[in-house]
Amino acid sequence: MSIRILIEQDLNRLLPLSREWESLVERHGGSSAVFLTQTWIRSWWNHFGSVRKTSLRSVFTALEDLQKSRTPFWGFLRSFCWLRSWWLYHGCDKTPRIYLFKDETDRLVGFAPLALTRHRTPAGNLAVLHFIGTGLADHMDFCIEPDWRSEAIGAFVDHGITGTAVLDLAEIPEDSPNLECLRTNLQKSGVKYLENRTAECPYIKLDAMKWNDFYSRQRSKSTRQDLERRWRQLDKTSPVTCRTYTDSESIRTVFPRLVELYRKRWETNYNILIFSGPVESRFYESLAIELAAEGRLHLMTLEQADRVLAFTYSATAGRYFTWLITSHDIEYGRYFIGEQLLIRLLEDVFTMQRFAEFDMTRGDESYKFKWTDRSRFNTRITAFGNGMKRRIIWGLMRTFMTLKHRRNRSRIGAGNRE
């Protein structure tokens, strides 16, 4: 067998491959499936792959928002460090580098959705090849048919390392079959590389279990009764409605309220930028509308008298249900409103009987482990081309990017941000 590599720099030219692409994602995307869809990649690029001037304006707007929210000094410092990290990835010159792997018959057998980012630093210029979606995507990976995996990744390593200064592949799930293959080929090529664990990602294996059996197994009888009592108390004040949004018009109508709820929840914390930042909010709204049109969106709220008390924003791909964003009104904390919504979300997912896994995404928050004892870590692989200067520049950049940020990685990168 022999494989061909094609590098596509125009995302629009991927559209004719949509059927083959999505088939690969469903069969071989694993827990990264949502973030490997053309919908996610195209939407991310449209919002974060723009020119430097646009990104710089967004950074200043975000800083103004933080100032208006009267963020305490250390919260502001953490915010600035996160903004600097965001700027290094989203505020520099970027070009798509979509690696397409094809067999002798021109059939698509795999792909790697990458971008080349050019950084200009006082110490010199540096080009970095990384996954499209780095920063917001909770998992990223190659998507390759098993029979072609070794040859495709081997060809990629030979081409990618010689073609750029640094290969920085973040958020690869540790149980990805591509990870060991990548390590093996890097070692064979004699390329120096670093490997680090990043975020812990809890998940629920759905199997064929019924919701009532799962709920009674995970939560004690007294806990269930307490949650029911709090729900009745809330419902007595005014009826509470659990609602899902599936059409573009209703999504556009409710989305500003979701952004405001999230902003209110995190107004004294740098997490405010993850969903309610000026670019981020437009990205998630646009993505929600596209996902809804494809039947992949699950947007659920708890509402009382036209007031949104809590929401969850999730996406599906193949057999994976991916919980992306959630937030709740802190004024209703005594009713455990966030957990009340999660219960209804999980019940809905179990009832569908379509999914093998409920991915709680990045973040090791304790409340997640009330529902599962399973988790996986994401892995970051950084490989260097020849030259000590490149390594020094990259080392300085990474040191600055992880200042304060690494300690809080599971919080600012938590996929469900709650």
Length of the chain: 418
**Does 301 lie in the same domain as 220?**
yes
Q: Under the phi-then-psi rule, with left for phi > 0, alpha for psi from -120 to 50, and beta for the rest, what region is 228? A: alpha
**Does 321 lie in the same domain as 397?**
no
Report how far apart, in Å, the C-alpha atoms of 385 and of each of 2, 163, 202 are.
Answer: 25, 9, 34
Residue 418 counted as domain residue: no
**Does 362 lie in the same domain as 223?**
yes
**Does 340 lie in the same domain as 223?**
yes
**CA-closest candidate to residue 87, choices 42, 114, 53:** 53
**Does 218 lie in the same domain as 183?**
no
**Does 154 lie in the same domain as 226?**
no
Spacing of C-alpha 183 from chain mean position: 23
Which residues is 98 bridged to in the sheet?
Answer: 8, 113
Which residues is 27 bridged to in the sheet?
Answer: none
**Does 195 lie in the same domain as 208?**
no
Q: What is the pTM of this model?
A: 0.85
One-character DSSP codes across 27-47: HH-GGGHHHHSHHHHHHHHHH
**Does 348 lie in the same domain as 291?**
yes
Tokens for 219, please give them.
């939560």
Which amino acid appears at position 215 of this protein?
Y
**Does 359 lie in the same domain as 232?**
yes
Phi, psi of 377 (to 5 degrees): -100, 150
**Does 253 lie in the same domain as 193?**
no
Full residue range of the structural domain in which residue 408 is found: 4-200+377-412
Please list, in sequence order, all residues whose beta carbon lies within 8 angstroms of the beta carbon of residue 297, skipping any fewer than 6 positions away: 245, 246, 251, 288, 291, 314, 315, 316
**Does 176 lie in the same domain as 221?**
no
pLDDT in 10s for each residue of the chain, 418 residues? 689 999 999 999 999 999 999 999 999 999 999 999 999 999 999 988 854 444 445 555 555 555 554 445 444 444 444 444 444 445 567 889 999 999 999 999 999 999 998 876 655 677 888 999 988 899 999 999 999 999 999 999 988 666 556 889 999 999 999 999 999 999 998 888 889 999 999 999 998 889 999 999 999 999 999 999 999 999 999 999 999 999 999 999 999 999 999 988 877 555 556 788 888 899 999 999 999 999 999 999 999 998 999 999 999 999 999 999 999 999 999 999 999 999 999 999 999 999 999 999 999 999 999 999 999 999 999 887 655 555 565 565 556 445 544 444 433 334 454 5
